[in-house]
Every structure is written in structure tokens, then in C-alpha cells.
Amino acid sequence: MSNPGELTEEADVVVVGSGGAGLLAACVAADTGASVTVVESTDRLGGTTAVSGGMIWAPGNPFMADLDQTDSRVDALRYLDQVTEGAVRRPTIELFLNTITVTVDYLLTRTPLRLAAIDRPDYHSEWPGARVAGRTLDVVPFPTADRPGLLDRIRAGAHFAPLMTYDERHRWRWPGTRDEDLLARRERDGAVAVGTGLVAALVAACDDRGVRFCTRTRATSLAVRDGRVRGVRVDRPTGPALLHARRGVVLACGGFEWNDQLKQAFLREPETVAVSPPGNRGDGLVMAMRLGAAVDSMAQGWWVPVVSDPDEGYDGAPLYRHLVGERCLPGSIIVDWRGRRFVNEAVNYNDLTRALHAFDPTTHRPAHAPAWLVFDEAFRRRYPVGATQPHRPAPAWFLRGESLADLAKVADIDPGGLEETVNAFNVHARRGVDPDFGRGSSAHDRYYGDDRQPGNPCLAPLENPPFYAVELRSGMLGTKGGLRTAPSGEVLRHDGTAITGLYACGNVAGGPMGPGYPGSGGTLAPALAGGYRCGRSLGEAAR
């Protein structure tokens, strides 16, 4: 099975990818006494999970009572039936709900990770079966001072400050509200939260179980013998190697959002840009498809609107920042090239980006692209936009006009449409209503609003020049479609038979959410649940 000049190494389980899904699969498999090797193509561990908010969407979790919330399986199913828009079979949804419960229990009882429910509403908080708080779990800061070198091994992201939990980022947005002593203590303790904290806790759990990590090691092909996947070939700085896996191989190496060829072949919007690390090149997908693996939902992504400062980069690639709070706060609107609003700006980011994908059959062009976040000087002085803080001068990538007409000219927006839209919006915003799109009418909308704003926390007029415009692009946290898997996590062929010895989880695998997005943590929850199933299946296979 090995090639000339190829070094061969042995393990019971080889996991390709070191995000949350792969780390949990490795941890669970190691609990059965398996020797586990995790390979990571980049120089740091954590993948997309490490640069994320780290939240987990878990209906019925044990912390909901802390927020005076109850939950039921009936409500969770009712809600997910709507979220998935009929594109996901009921058994797949039920499998997710069954697994996320035991996954959270495992994380709390078998790893050092600690979680807490937050008052984040479901993304469709007004739908039957939704909850206005509690289903989203936040990462409690994980101290690393007693584990020298741990943080040096983990990927750092540009989007979230790891010292603060996601909930604290929401509550401490305004100047003068942060507890600097608390943050200083966390820095001293090496305590990290959000995705960094989740990854740190799982890497620590893997270290405690003797899991071996190999960074800068890119998987290139799967080794097959007697109809079974027996290992994976890799390239690393010291040369090629065959990692023989006695029990099986787990693909957990992310989506294909950084592979232009795969994006062009599968995505409905191939020009969509990624906010994930550039290492997500679809390697696992390509390797499995060579063996006849079936795929699901390949046109789908975890969509998010993004903005870009051309001077910012990450791992040698352009950095795109997802736009979340800015579009919900009072004093901003989103318009298209006609100068018209076309969406409730405060709707969840997945569905807002789907609105950006709309096609106009009359003009035979995107209906709403290019689109712009438009705001005035009062907004700029009060709220951050991207990485630009209110006390900083407006950067050059903010388009600027002393009047709406001037701004329209600079941004190539229809001036009449923009002025008419802003004037009408201002009339209603002063009364705290949005008759066109209902902005600020749901608990989800109001979560990112400004409670200091009288009336509607999401609405204020745009009336203080100069005016600014920042272009919005279609972005994604990662691709959503991937390999079709059995409940065990085994990868399936088109005829429904399993490719023995091959498992997949995370964004390399097709997930249970279809085109929808249930709430914060709706990406990580299926990934972790899939990782738990893969690890457990590999443990059971040994028996």
C-alpha cells in the first residue's frame, strides 16, 4: 500500500482537520483507548472554529432554566421544519436533535470546556417553536496559564477578541462599560473565550488523552486496500508519508470556499467571498469523491454579508469582515444600486445575504448588487463599522459625500432613488416604525439594537452630514454542502452503501440545516454533533 520513498506511520484513527468537529471526533475516539493522529494543513490548530464566535445552538440544553426558559422536542422539530424549508428529511433533523443533547453532555462532563446559555434569540424568533433566549450556548473563558505553549498552537482570528465571551461583546459594546480589571485578570490567566476558547479546551482534552497533532501536513489522497479505507497520504515539510489508520479515517477538514474550481462548479454564487481561514480548500471532498462518494446541498453556504478594508489581510489573503451589528443599529440603512431598500437590515445574516443573491429577469442582472450600507456622521461617531472604531477618523474605504446627492455620485447609486428612500425612511424612523420591512419588530432584530435609542432600538433618521457608504458583498462563513453520510458518520456512495473506514463531519459533510440557519451556533452545533458521532462509531467498531 505504501509507495517507494514514502514513510509509513501507524495509528488507530487518523483525523484530517483540527476544527471543532475533528477535535471532538479525536477526543471521543481516544476515550476508547484508540491511538489518534490529527493532521492539519496549516501551521496552527483550530480551523474555522478558532476564528468563530464559538457558540453552539442546542435546543433543550441544561442551562436554559438559568434564563427562565423551557424547551421541548416538539417545538424544536416544529421550528427546524420551517428553518430547513422542506429540504431536509425528518430523520436527519431528529438525528441532529438526538446527538446535540449527548454532545453537550459529553463536552461538559468529559472535557474542560464550560458553557453558559445567553439571551440570544433564535434567528426567526417570531416563528412557532422558536425561543427568544437560551438555545445558544456561549463559551465560558478557558484558562490556559497552566498549559504552557497551548495558545501558541492555536489559530488566532481577526473577528473576535478572545478575552471576551460573545455575550460580553454584546453587553459591553458601549464606551465606558467594560470591566478592565476583569479583562486584565483574564489576560494574566491566559483565559480565552469564543472560538479560540472552544478550540483551546478541546485541544487540551486531546492532549490529556495522548492525541498526536501534525501541523503543516496536508492530506492528498486516501489509501484503500481490499475495498476499505486504510489510511491517508499526506505531504509535510519532511516529505510524503502514509498514515495508516487501523480503525478508520475521519475527514473534518472544512468546506471548499477557498477552492475557486469547486466554487465555480457547485455554488450558485461563485463570486461569494470567504471569511474562514484560507486552508479550507475542499481537500476532503475531492479525496472522497475520487472513491465515488455522494454529495448533498453543494450549492449552499453559511451566508453572511461582508465588508472589506483593502489594507487588511489574513494568512496572505484579503480579509473580509462579516457585517452584523452595524446594519441593526439605529441610523443606517442598506440600499441597492437604485438607492432603494430591499430587506429588513436587522434580519439574520444568512437570509439577508440570500436577498443579495436575488436575480432580476428583466435587466438580467443581480437585482440588488452592488449594495451599500449607508449611514451619517452621527452613526459614524457612535458605532464601529468593521474594524473602524467611532473615535477614529473615517478611513479612505468609506465613500463620503457632503450631501446624499454627492454620496450617490461617488458610489454610483441612483441619486433620486437614494434621496427619496432616505427621506421616507427618516419620517418613519422618527416615529420608531418601519412600515416597509418591520425592522426592529422582533426580538432577534432588537438584540443588536441600541437600547439607548428611544422607541425602536434599531431605527434613527440619517440626517447629519457628511454621509457615508460602504459596499456589501456576498460572503460566507463556509460552504454548507458536502459528503453524504450515514447516521454513524460513514461516508456513503450514490447507491447508499458505505465507503468502509471513511467518516466525515463538519463542513466537509452535508449537514441537517438545508438552506436555513436556526440561530447563533447553528454552524458549530451540527459540526460538533457529527464529530461526536464519528468518534463514537470508531470506538464501537473496535469492539
Give 285-321 pLDDT, tens digit per residue. Answer: 999 999 999 999 999 999 999 999 999 999 999 999 9
Q: Residue 310 falls within a domain, yes or no?
A: yes
Tell me: do 370 and 487 sit in the same domain.
no
Residues 400 and 361 in one domain: yes
Q: Which long-range contacts (CB under 8 A, 24 or more apart) does 83-88 make?
A: 83/123, 83/124, 83/513, 83/514, 83/516, 83/517, 83/518, 84/512, 84/513, 84/514, 84/515, 84/516, 85/514, 85/515, 85/516, 86/514, 87/297, 87/514, 87/515, 88/512, 88/513, 88/514
Q: Which long-range contacts (CB under 8 A, 24 or more apart) does 232-236 make?
A: 232/14, 232/16, 232/39, 232/287, 233/3, 233/6, 234/39
Co-location of 392 and 441 in the same domain: yes
**What do you get for the CA distance between the two ends of the chain, in Å?**
25
Name the DSSP class of 244: E
pLDDT of 377 reads: 97
Note the pLDDT tens digit of each residue in 381-424.
Answer: 999 999 998 988 999 999 999 999 999 999 999 999 999 999 99
pLDDT at 179: 78
118 and 162 both lie in a single domain:
yes
> Per the confidence metrics, is the pTM higher than 0.85?
yes
- Which of the listed residues 419, 441, 476 is the one where a domain comes to its end? 476
Q: Which amino acid is at 184?
A: A
Residue position matching grid coordinates 501541523: 215
Mapped onto helix, strand or coil, the DSSP state of residue 183 is: helix
DSSP 519: S
Residue range 97-117, pLDDT digits in tens: 999 999 999 999 999 999 999
Q: 191 and 92: one domain?
A: yes
521 and 411, same structural domain? Answer: no
Residue 398 is placed in which grid cell?
Answer: 468609506
CB-based contacts of 182, cutoff 8 Å, min separation 6 = none
Q: By percentage, how much of the chain surpasses pLDDT 90?
A: 90
In a domain, 86, yes or no: yes
Dihedrals φ, ψ of 498, to 5°?
A: -85, 145
Dihedral in degrees, nearest 10, Cα atoms 150, 155, 157, 160: -30
Within a domain: 439: yes
Q: Say if CB 49 and CB 198 are below 8 A apart.
A: yes
Residue among 134, 117, 103 nearest 528 (CA):
103
How many domains, the chain? 2
Contact predicate 418/335, CB 8 Å: yes
**472 and 499 belong to one structural domain:** no
* Together in a domain, 310 and 208: no
Is residue 153 in some structural domain?
Answer: yes
Q: Quick one: how many helices (H) and strands (E) in the chain?
A: 15, 24
Handedness of CA 107, 112, 113, 117 (dihedral sign): positive
Q: CB neighbours of 282 closer than 8 A, spacing ≥ 6?
A: 255, 256, 258, 259, 262, 479, 508
**Does 462 fall in a domain?**
yes
Percentage of the residues of the chain whose pLDDT score is greater than 70:
97
> Does the pLDDT of residue 2 top 60, yes or no?
yes
Q: How far is CA 399 from CA 323, 343, 376, 452, 539, in A?
A: 17, 22, 11, 27, 56
User: Does the structure show a pLDDT above 70 at 543?
Assistant: no
Where does a domain end: 418, 451, 476? Answer: 476
Report d(CA 523, CA 349) in Å as an integer.
13
For residue 270, being part of any structural domain is answered with no
Q: Which residue range forms the structural domain that includes residue 537?
A: 7-217+480-542
Domain boundary among 476, 507, 534: 476
Alpha-carbon distance of 59 to 160, in angstroms, equals: 25
73: left (phi over 0), alpha (psi -120 to 50) or beta: alpha
Q: Is residue 154 part of a domain?
A: yes
H/E element holding 202? Answer: helix 194-208
pLDDT per residue as tens digits for the range 185-237: 999 999 999 999 999 999 999 999 999 999 999 999 999 999 999 999 999 99
Q: Are strands 239-251 and 228-236 parallel, antiparallel or unpaired?
A: antiparallel
Distance in angstroms (rounded) separating the CA atoms of residues 388 and 375:
14
Residue 460 CA to residue 180 CA, distance in Å, equals: 31
Q: Is the pLDDT of residue 329 over 60?
A: yes
Nearest to 135 by CA among 186, 173, 185, 83: 83
> What pLDDT is attached to residue 1?
60
Read off the CATH number of the domain in which 396 is found: 3.90.700.10
What digits encode the pLDDT tens for the residues 457-481?
999 999 999 999 999 999 999 999 9
337 and 472 together in one domain: yes
Indicate which CATH number applies to the domain containing 504.
Answer: 3.50.50.60
Shared domain check, 56 and 156: yes
Does 402 share its domain with 441?
yes
348-366: pLDDT as tens digits? 999 999 999 999 999 998 9
Together in a domain, 204 and 329: no
Query: Is residue 101 in a domain?
Result: yes
Q: What is the mean pLDDT of the chain?
A: 95
C-alpha torsion angle, residues 87, 90, 94, 100 (rounded to 10): 0
From the list 480, 436, 54, 107, the residue with the least C-alpha distance to 274 is: 480
**What does the pLDDT read at residue 423?**
98
